[in-house]
Amino acid sequence: MPSETAAPSRATEHRLHPLSVGFSLASQLRRAILPLIIGGASANFLGVVEMRFVLLVGLIPLVVGSVVRYLTFRYRYEEAELVIRSGLLFRRERHVPYARIQNLDAVQGVFHRVLGVVEVKLQTGGGQEPEATLTVLPLPALEALRERVREGKREAAGEAAAAGEVTDAATGTGAGEAPTGILAEPAATDLASAATPEGRTLLHLPARELLLHGLLQNRGMVLIAAAFGLAWETGLFERASDWVAGEQSRIGPAVEGVAADVVAAGILVTVVAVAALVVAFVIFARMLSVVWTLVRLHDYRVVRSEEGLRATFGMLTQVAATIPLRRVQTVTIHEGPLQRLAGRVAVGVQTAGGSQAGQPGNADPHRQQLAPILPRERLRDFLREVIPELDAPEVNWEPVSPLAFRRVLRGTCFLATLAAVPLYFALEAWGMAFHAAFLAWAVFYARRYVDWLGWALKDDMVWFRSGWLWRRTTIARYTRIQVVALRASPIDRWRGMASLRVDTAGAAAASHKVDIPYLPLDTARQLRTLLAAEAARTAFRW
Amino acid sequence: MNESTHSIGTPETPEAAATAETAEMAGSADPAGLAATAPGGIADGVRRSLDPKVIPLQRTIGGIVTGCVSLPLAAAVAVLWVVAGPPPGVVAGLVGVWSAITVGLGWWLYRWPVLHHRYASYAVHPDGIEIRKGVIWRQAISVARSRVQHTDVSQGPLERKYGLGTLGIYTAGTDHAKVSLDGLEHDTALRIRDHLLPPAGDDAV
């Protein structure tokens, strides 16, 4: 096999866990199964070949690919970098310096846990994809990897001059235990228990808080939508509708009968019935949200250790994600209306590590929300752990231009009128009442929105808040500022305003950015000069 | 609330033509006082306008664009005339529309470079660069030298003919991951690039 090619390595090379074959096959199957079934079914339909045959032939390359991948995949720890070799025909050798590793995420599904293995993702500053995905490693190897990254970073940072010996010792242990046993240590088959690091627990969410979190956020709707999508894809939807409304169905007519009775009983009863249905649906959605949260974020824990922040969570699929503290670019505080009522906030961090925050389905929603739910009074302590320079989350907010209200008002009134136009056609005179209500709302909204816009400079950071019902506050340290841009649209210039964008690394498309609108021109100009000077004065470190 | 809020009353870097900036962003006419040439190094914080050769360059491009739009339209009208043989009134109307488009586009693309040149400028400071551009949507962008990841200078065929170059400055930012400045004299672009390159050994990532 090609794995026997001479490797010019000073360090011992490690392999993935033998179960990798199974896991990578499973993940490829998940992607390929639908096309295969469709292909098989159509081939069957056309009478070319039998479906079983198509499936079998389709599977062979997947199996071969998985086996080859496992046999050719090697990684080794060099002095300052992790070297990963893979590939049979097209060989690839990746060098990932320890010091450049932004995040080290470990994910463990149910099967992973039973078998005592873990999937590891390494991310560096560049690109959107993880720099390296190790599917799968035995748990002790993960610990060895973490240890190496930790040591490598310390060395690179020049913090420990005498770290050399320690590193050598770590190599010895890491090389010794990694490649072999399946269940090397029975105690460490569980990511959470294996990953309990030395360090202080900053945040632990007990079931009560998770319950509240599930109630406050509207995950249920997303789940229902996803379930609908899945049902549609797999044709379950059609069968279900057949079952309910088909020819032989007895449910459909029964529902129709009840509905007819309700409508016949008068408008009041109809309204009550519809309202009850809506309420039942909302309650159902929230229940789903609660269950989902309890399972997904089970035992949510953020620990501050030497390597940075580590978040661990999950009941079925367990995730352990590490965020080095100095990789934190900006911090965003989220407050929804319900959360405010319950006295809770959420804190998210943006890192430069090819973050896929905003992409659902990835193993890191925590990257958006490091603290999914946090009592307001603990916000200060938590923020200070993430940004040591921060003094207190209370600041004197500076307002935007006094002319901003009228500008926003014009926009919201236009939208309100636009929304009312079809109502005039549909309801005629009643349309006017709706129009008036919309306009009142437009005025109210514009007032609150502009009141809540604000910026501040404090503790060598830019603060920016926006939103009214869903408030977001973003904090960017001067040392994290990349580019400062003043922008003035024609209307801005007409009104003597400008907006200021403070660009940082690692901001995902959907994340809250420091982009201050409606500033008086002079203020914007001075701010830009000041922030540009501050950025120039300090060095940016990844 | 123990505040240490900065006052932003006094800018910390000396800004050449700061008043001119206000005037410019507020929309009044030609920002005055732009230095033409640099006596010493390029990093003197003096605001410079782009090389005037950018105007003929962009007009050339504008001419090409106008031709690319106008000629196919003319061909379409001619084909229609020959094949369908519409009444003369329709033909006259089509020709009118065609000439309006051609003249309008041509005039616009002839005028625009002057405006573009008027509102674009840059100032290289010892610790960074400041770029202004935009005729309708104005922008003033500051990039600190310590944030520059890498730079490049590119030159298209037409730019080469006029001796111009485009400077690209790359940062680790998101919206402004690339800040570009076109219409520089090629030599100037190279000098700015050399100035902005981070000093060796400073890459303590």
> Which of B142, B169, B180, B203 should be substituted to probe chain A, the one whose Cβ sees the most A Cβ atoms within 10 Å?
B142
Chain A contact present for B115, CB below 8 A: no
pLDDT band at A368 (very low <50, low <70, confident <90, very high): low
Angle at which helices A207-216 and A267-296 cross, to 10°: 140
The CA distance from A157 to the nearest CA of chain B, in Å, is 8
Q: Which residue of B132, B141, B195 is the best one to mutate when testing the A interface, meaning the one whose CB has the most A CBs within 10 A? A: B141
**Any chain B CB within 8 A of the CB of A352?**
yes
pLDDT at residue A161, rounded to an integer: 39
pLDDT confidence bin for A540, thresholds 50/70/90: confident
Cβ atoms of residues A495 and A401 within 8 Å: yes
Using pLDDT thresholds of 50, 70 and 90, give the confidence band for residue A9.
very low
B25: closest chain A residue by CA: A493
Q: Which of B3, B9, B205 sits opposite A542 (nearest CB)?
A: B205
Alpha-carbon gap, residue A357 to A353, rounded angstroms = 10
pLDDT per residue over A491-524, tens digit each?
A: 999 999 999 999 988 777 778 889 999 999 999 9
Query: Residue B139's pLDDT is what?
Result: 94
The predicted structure's pLDDT at residue A353: 57
Q: What is the mean pLDDT of residues A94-123?
A: 81
> If we measure between CA atoms, which residue out of A365, A216, A226 comes closest to residue A296?
A365
B66: how many CB neighbours lie within 10 A of its CB? Answer: 20
Top pLDDT among B135 and A425 is at B135
Distance from CA of A468 to the nearest CA of B (A): 23
Nearest by CB to residue B25, choosing from A395, A493, A536, is A493
With CA atoms as reference, report the closest residue to A32 among A7, A8, A66. A66
Return the pLDDT at A451. 93
* Token couple for A276: 């009850």
pLDDT at A308 (0 to 100) = 79
The yes/no answer to whether this complex scores an ipTM above 0.95 is no
**What is the mean predicted confidence (pLDDT) over A22-27?**
85
The answer to whether B193 and B179 have CB atoms below 8 angstroms apart is: no
- A83-92, A144-153, A205-214: which range is least confident on average? A144-153
- Nearest CA among B9, B53, B55 for reference residue B186: B53
pLDDT of residue B5: 39
Averaged pLDDT for residues B44-67: 93
Q: Give the model confidence (pLDDT) of A271-289 as tens digits.
A: 888 899 999 988 888 888 8
- Residue A9 CA, chain-centre distance (Å), reads 37
Reported as a single tens digit per residue, the pLDDT across B125-161 is 988 999 999 999 999 999 999 888 888 899 999 999 9
Query: What pLDDT shows up at residue A7?
Result: 44
All residues of chain B having their beta carbon less than 8 Å from the beta carbon of residue A534 are 12
The per-residue DSSP string of A176-230 comes to: HHSSS-SSS-GGGSSHHHHT--SSEEEEE--HHHHHHHHHHS-HHHHHHHHHHHH
Q: Please name which of A474, A467, A470 lies closest in space to residue A453, comparing C-alpha atoms.
A: A467
Query: Which residues in A lie closer than 8 A to residue B123 (C-beta atoms)?
Result: none
Q: What is the pLDDT of residues A238-282, one digit of tens each?
A: 676 776 666 666 677 777 788 888 878 778 888 888 899 999 988
pLDDT top residue among A111 and A476: A476
Of A164-178, A473-487, B173-187, the range with the lowest mean pLDDT is A164-178
B contacts of A99 (beta carbons < 8 Å):
205
Query: Shortest Cα distance from A145 to chain B (angstroms)?
Result: 20
* A483 → closest Cβ in B5, B173, B202: B173
| B155 interfacial to chain A (CB closer than 8 Å) | no
B179 to chain A, any CB pair closer than 8 A? The answer is: yes
A15 Cβ under 8 Å from any chain B Cβ:
no
Contact at CB, B202 and A494, closer than 8 angstroms:
no
pLDDT number for residue A147: 81
Residues A486-496 as b or e (16 or more Cβ within 10 Å = b):
bbbbeebbebb
Q: What share of chain A is helix, strand, coil (3-state, %, to 5)?
A: 50, 25, 25
Q: Cα–Cα distance between B50 and A47 in angstroms, integer?
A: 70
Out of B138, B174, B179, the one facing A493 most closely (by C-beta) is B138
Mutate to test the interface with A, among B136, B145, B147, B151 (most CBs of A within 10 A): B147
Q: What is the mean pLDDT of residues A406-433?
A: 89
Per cent of chain A over pLDDT 90 is: 24
Rg (CA), chain B: 23
Nearest to A532 among B4, B128, B202 (CB): B128
B-chain residues within 8 Å CB-CB of A458?
3-6
With contact defined as beta carbons under 8 Å apart, do B20 and B33 qualify? Answer: yes
**Cβ of residue B18 closer than 8 Å to a chain A Cβ:** yes
Average pLDDT over residues B168-175: 88
Q: Is A177 on the interface with B (CB under 8 A)?
A: no
Q: Spell out a b/e string for A509-531, using b for 16 or more CB atoms within 10 Å of the CB, else e.
A: eebbbbbbbbbbbebbbbbbbbb
Q: What is the pLDDT of residue A446?
A: 94
Geometric angle at alpha carbon A35, from A31 and A38, rounded to 5°: 145
pLDDT computed for residue A530 by the predictor:
93
Least confident range from A375-384, B27-36, B51-60: namely B27-36
Tell me if A525 and B18 make a contact (CB, 8 A cut-off).
yes
Q: Largest alpha-carbon pair distance within chain A?
A: 86
Q: Distance from A204 to chain B by nearest Cα, in Å?
A: 28
pLDDT of res. A424:
86
Strand extents, DSSP E, A241-387: 301-305, 308-313, 318-323, 328-335, 344-351, 371-375
Instruction: State whether B146 and A494 contact (CB < 8 Å).
Output: no
Q: Chain A partners of B173 at a C-beta cutoff of 8 Å?
A: 482-483, 503-505
Q: In the predicted model, what is the mean pLDDT of residues A154-167?
A: 46
User: Looking at CA atoms only, how far is residue A195 from chain B in angstroms?
Assistant: 27
Q: How far is A205 from chain B (nearest CA, A)?
A: 29
- CB contact at 8 A, A498 and A341: no
> Mean of the pLDDT values across residues B164-175?
90
Q: Is A533 on the interface with B (CB under 8 A)?
A: yes
pLDDT-wise least confident of A148-157, A297-306, A498-507: A148-157
Say what the pLDDT of residue A248 is.
66
Instruction: Please classify residue A374 by burial: count the beta carbons closer than 10 Å to its beta carbon, then call 0-12 exposed, 13-18 middle and 19+ buried.
Output: buried
The CB-side HSE value for A430 (13 A sphere, CA atoms) comes to: 4
Percent of chain A having pLDDT more than 70?
80
